[in-house]
Amino acid sequence: MLRLLDRLQPLALLVLRIVLGVIMIGHGYPKVFGGLSEHVHHVSNLGLPGWLAYCSAAAEFFGGILLLAGLFTRIAALAILINMSVAIWKVHWKNGLLAAIAFALILLGGGPIALDSIRRGGSAKGKKA
């Protein structure tokens, strides 16, 4: 049974990437396409520099796209983790699950069902990202 579960790990990583990517794109899309000035205002009201809103919107939208593709997974997950850590700290604790998923993807990478694997030349076993 454990061997079967081990063989399903790539599928589990794919599911984590899809879930986090879709959620982050959903959060970032309205900020990038039309609501950026409102987001800058909101970030400023939290006591943070307004320019961080651009980083936040990019991490959410473009980071989500990269996660869906499985491209630069660890970098995208790190950007999302930082973004979600600030959001958890400043706004809402309930999003800790998204930060936990991003943390797992930083450590594990995108898995073999990801463009990162193709970019590295195939198998993810024995190779570092």
Convert the pLDDT of each residue in 84-96 to its tens digit: 888 888 877 766 7
Q: What percent of the chain is predicted at pLDDT more than 70?
A: 91
If one compares 123 and 103, the residue with the highest pLDDT of the two is 103
Burial class (CB in 10 A: 0-12, 13-18, 19+), 30: middle
pTM: 0.79
pLDDT value at residue 126: 45
Span between the terminal Cα atoms of the chain, in Å: 29
Amino acid at the residue 58: A
Amino acid at the residue 2: L
Vertex 117: Cα angle to 7 and 115 (nearest 5) = 110
Q: How far apart are CA 83 and CA 80, in angstroms?
A: 5
User: pLDDT per residue over 12-55, tens digit each?
Assistant: 899 999 999 999 999 999 999 998 999 999 999 989 999 999 99
Q: Binning pLDDT at 50, 70 and 90, where does residue 122 land?
A: low
Q: How far apart are CA 80 and CA 85, in angstroms?
A: 8
Weakest-pLDDT range from 17-26, 68-77, 105-114: 105-114
Q: What percent of the chain is predicted at pLDDT more than 90?
A: 53
pLDDT value at residue 123: 57
SS (H, E, C) the chain: CHHHHHHCHHHHHHHHHHHHHHHHHHHHHHHHCCCHHHHHHHHHHCCCCCCHHHHHHHHHHHHHHHHHHCCCHHHHHHHHHHHHHHHHHHCCHHHHHHHHHHHHHHHHCCCCCCHHHHHCCCCCCCCCC
Query: Residue 82 above 50 pLDDT?
Result: yes
